[in-house]
Amino acid sequence: MKKNNIRKSFVATAMLLMATMSYAQSSVSGYFLEGFNQRYQLNPALAPERSGFMAIPGVSNIQVNAEGSVGMSHFLFESKSKPGMLTTFMSSDVKADEFLDALPDASQFDVDLNMDILGFGFGNSNWYTMFNVKMRNSEKVSLPKDLFAFMKSGLTNGEYMIKDVNVTSITYLEYSLTHSHKIGDNLTIGVALKFLQGAAYANLNIDEIDARLSDNEWLVRSNGTLKASVPGMKYKLSDENTFQGLEDKYTFKMPSSYGFAVDLGAEYDFKDLVKGLKVSASVSDIGMIDWGQTTTFATNNQEYVRFAGFKEYDVTSKDNDNKELENIGDDFKDMIKLYQTGTEESKSVELDATFRLGAEYETPFAKWLSFGELMTFRTGLNPYFEERTSICMSPNSWFDITGNIGFSTMGSSMGLLVNLHPAGFNFFFAVDRIKADFNPQYIPLKDFGLNFSLGMNLAFGAKR
């Protein structure tokens, strides 16, 4: 089978199931490294080590995060009728129990991209002020097991109640002004004020799908909405005024959506009680974006739609080059009719807030060695908790390395960060999470997690 057909199979199954149509700001592995320039983005009290820095546009800090509770092996199977070839879970070769027993209660996908565009800062041993411009993008998908059970049922079972289908996409620019200030000999506090400029927003939320078998077809009633704010984007509509997709042509328009957010942080040095012990805490992204004009679509909650069921999407088919897979979105549009209901002049969307609590202990027998414990909790569609234990080593004044192990709601993971920070510049490469079993085409087979970042900044002045 062609490689691109495998890719098409997985993408169509995992992504077009969205229906008819980035959490970290910097590497958490560097949270305890004083030489790591970007850690003020995790906790505004943790300022850079030198008296000044300037970001190199485009390469200052690039971070990609992708994780999911399922992978390709959950949706593609060895074909029994055509040995040596693959088929989708919708094939009659695959028994329902074989497919459904391996699925979690909710199949989740999170993809985030963060990139610093501009940044600089300056200060001394008592205070530090930083300015940063960042592009942030986040894509989140949550699909319940009941949805896949219904897809697989054909015309054999009587009733299904499917709840909580959600797809969210958000992209915005963040302009932040951060100030860190030392109070006395032990306490440092920090605050970041953020102005947000929304570029694109879309949220599909299906509260429930009530499906009942009648004769040789389903009667389906849905309760859901689709809200989108993408300046310059036009939508395809059917004769019934239902959502059919996006127009190919796109006219660029300046974003007209704005918002505000704040980060708060603190660090306390317990050197008077336990020498080498520091405790810190922060909360990031408390705020929202007010999306200007939002196009809204909604189901008719009283309408029962007649639906013939899902087709048998079989990637082993050679006659149509797997075009049936591309029709999966059409099946959803036949089942869930989203009518354009107009526009909203304003819709406020809260950001996913992140809470962190950290403790670091510098060993008395080796000043270059320390241990850190960091707990992270993130709110939102897919709430996230992580506990991460780090060992940090700074064998000389310009080189740091840290390794860590984490346990989270997405499973266990290992991380690594290498940081070079001699006078003049700072370069780092980090992998916060890598958990994946890839096939030869680099598609994850099972639940997966990948978070990596890198960056280079100019650093000048004496160490604070």
SS3 of 177-201: EEEEEEECCCEEEEEEEEEEEEEEE
pLDDT score recorded for residue 8:
42
User: CA-CA distance, 1 to 356, in Å (whole number)?
Assistant: 47
Burial degree of 31 (CB within 10 A; 0-12, 13-18, 19+):
buried
Cα-based distances in Å from 153 to 72, 309, 338, 339: 21, 9, 23, 27
Element containing residue 100 per DSSP (H, E): helix 96-100
pLDDT score recorded for residue 327:
65
Q: How many Cβ atoms from other residues are within 10 Å of residue 418's Cβ?
A: 16
Residue with tokens 């939002």: 294
pLDDT score recorded for residue 18:
33
pLDDT score recorded for residue 239:
83
> 225, 297 in Cβ contact below 8 A?
yes
Residue with tokens 């200030």: 181
The DSSP call for residue 157 is -
Element containing residue 379 per DSSP (H, E): none
Strand partners, 136: 114, 172
CATH number for 377: 2.40.160
User: CA-CA distance, 368 to 362, in Å (whole number)?
Assistant: 8
Residue 452: domain span: 3-463
Instruction: Tell me the backbone φ, ψ of residue 72, rounded to 5 degrees.
Output: -60, -35
Nearest to 258 by CA among 170, 348, 197: 197
The residue length of the chain stands at 464
* Side chain identity, residue 54: M
* Side chain identity, residue 390: S
Residue with tokens 């958000």: 170
Burial degree of 396 (CB within 10 A; 0-12, 13-18, 19+):
exposed
Strand partners, 457: 55, 426
Total domain count, the chain: 1
User: CA-CA distance, 116 to 345, in Å (whole number)?
Assistant: 30
> 128, 121 in Cβ contact below 8 A?
yes
Residue with tokens 């998908």: 141
Strand partners, 11: none
pLDDT score recorded for residue 15:
36
Nearby residues of 2 by Cβ (< 8 Å), 6 or more positions away: none
Q: List, for the chain, all residue ranges whose pLDDT scores fall below the cut of 70.
A: 1-25, 250-252, 315-327, 436-445
- Max distance between CA atoms of the chain, in angstroms, equals 79
pLDDT score recorded for residue 1:
40
pLDDT score recorded for residue 16:
35
Element containing residue 43 per DSSP (H, E): none
Compute, in degrees rounded to 10, the torsion defined by CA atoms 146, 152, 155, 160: 0
